[in-house]
Amino acid sequence: MSDSEVAVHNPALRHHFAEVEQQRNASSLGMWLFLVTEVMFFGGMFCAYLVYRTAHFGDFAAASSTLDLKLGTINTAVLILSSLTVVMAVWAAQTGKQKALVMYLLLTIVLGLAFLGVKGVEYAEKFEKHHVPGPTFHFAGAIPGHPDHPADPRHAEMFFSLYFVMTGMHAVHMIIGIGLFAFLAFKASRGAYTPAYFTPIENAGLYWHFVDIIWIYLFPLLYLIDRHK
């Protein structure tokens, strides 16, 4: 088989591809398509959120204003920073900087864990305030700008349902991403990635950026509904 010569040059080339370039393109296209499916997956939730936010705007704004804006902002910054470290990791892999690659991957993991930690603090606060949907749910806020007009607690409960589902699903994706980077860091420390082959780093990076972008939408939609009043 004529491929066997090429395979000697690059052990990462799998049998069914003719050349490295083709394999790289296939992996990259596959990753982008996977992200498309992720967009649709989150799209269902965003759709539900937008429908109810339009239907019960005042109540959603009231519920939203109880979220911790400071922690949300910190988390946004943490995530954007982690995107930077991912980009640096890809660059390090591209240029063959072995140690830097492992370091940036570990840094990304640390930032990801920091995000989850802050999220945990926020979740704990919801439990304390009885803002977790279910039999113990309690909400007594007024509609922003209308202090004598109490918000409908049932609609507030829907807001928090969506809040937990959306941020929860986002957190699940973060945990998967952290696991992915832990695996890649382990492999990278053993020299698995070279300037000739670093597709897994690139694809994991794409995934991480996607998870970031989801947050970039979640943050204003959930935290900033009606903050200007």
Partner 1 sequence: MATTAVTPERANYLNAEYGVKSWLLTVDHKRIALLYLLSVTLFFFLGGFFALLIRLELLTPAGDLMQADTYNKVFTMHGIIMVFFFLIPVVPAVLGNFLMPIMIGAKDLAFPRINLLSWYLYVIGGLLILHCMLTGGVDTGWTFYPPFSTSFSNTKVVEAGLAVFVSGFSSILTGLNFIVTVHRMRAPGMTWDRLPLFVWANYATSIVMILGTPVVAITIVLVALERTLHLGIFDPKLGGDPLLFQHLFWFYSHPAVYIMILPSMGVISELITCFSRKRVFGYKFVALSSVAIAVLGFLVWAHHMFVAGMSLYAGLIFSFLSFFVAVPSAIKVFNWTATLYKGSISFTTPMLYAFGFLGLFTMGGLTGLFLAALGVDVHVTDTYFIVAHFHYIMVGGVLMGYLGGMHFWWPKISGRMYPEFWGKLSALIVFLGFNLTFFPQFILGYMGMPRRYWQYPPEFQILNVLSTAGASVLAVGYLLPMIYFVWSMRYGKPAPDNPWNAAGLEWMTSSPPPTYNFDETPVVTWEAYNYEELNKKEEVPVER
Residue 115-154 contact track with partner 1, rule CB under 8 A, x = bound: ------------------xxx----------------x-x
- Give the nearer residue to partner 1 in terms of CB position, either 124 or 172: 172
Question: 3-state DSSP helix/strand/coil percent for the chain, to nearest 5?
Answer: 75, 5, 20
Rounded Cα distance, 5 and 12, in Å = 13
User: How far from 179 is each of 45, 105, 128, 182, 204, CA to CA, in Å?
Assistant: 24, 11, 30, 5, 11
- In whole angstroms, how large is the CA radius of gyration of the chain? 22
- Give the nearer residue to partner 1 in terms of CB position, either 134 or 228: 134
Rounded Cα distance, 135 and 137, in Å = 6
- Give the nearer residue to partner 1 in terms of CB position, either 105 or 202: 202
Taking the complex as a whole, how short is the minimal distance between the CB of residue 138 and partner 1, in angstroms?
14
Instruction: Using alpha carbons, select from 149, 159, 146 the residue that is nearest to residue 229.
Output: 146
**Interacting residues with partner 1 between 38 and 77 (CB under 8 A):** 38, 40-45, 47-48, 51-52, 55-56
Position among 157, 174, 177, 204 found at the interface with partner 1 (CB under 8 A): 157
Residue 197's SS3 state is: strand
Cα dihedral value 148, 153, 158, 160, nearest 10:
80
- Give the nearer residue to partner 1 in terms of CB position, either 36 or 84: 36
Taking the complex as a whole, how short is the minimal distance between the CB of residue 68 and partner 1, in angstroms?
21
Residues that bind partner 1 (CB under 8 A): 1, 14-16, 18, 22, 25-26, 29-30, 33-34, 36-38, 40-45, 47-48, 51-52, 55-56, 133-135, 152, 154-155, 157-158, 161-162, 164-165, 169
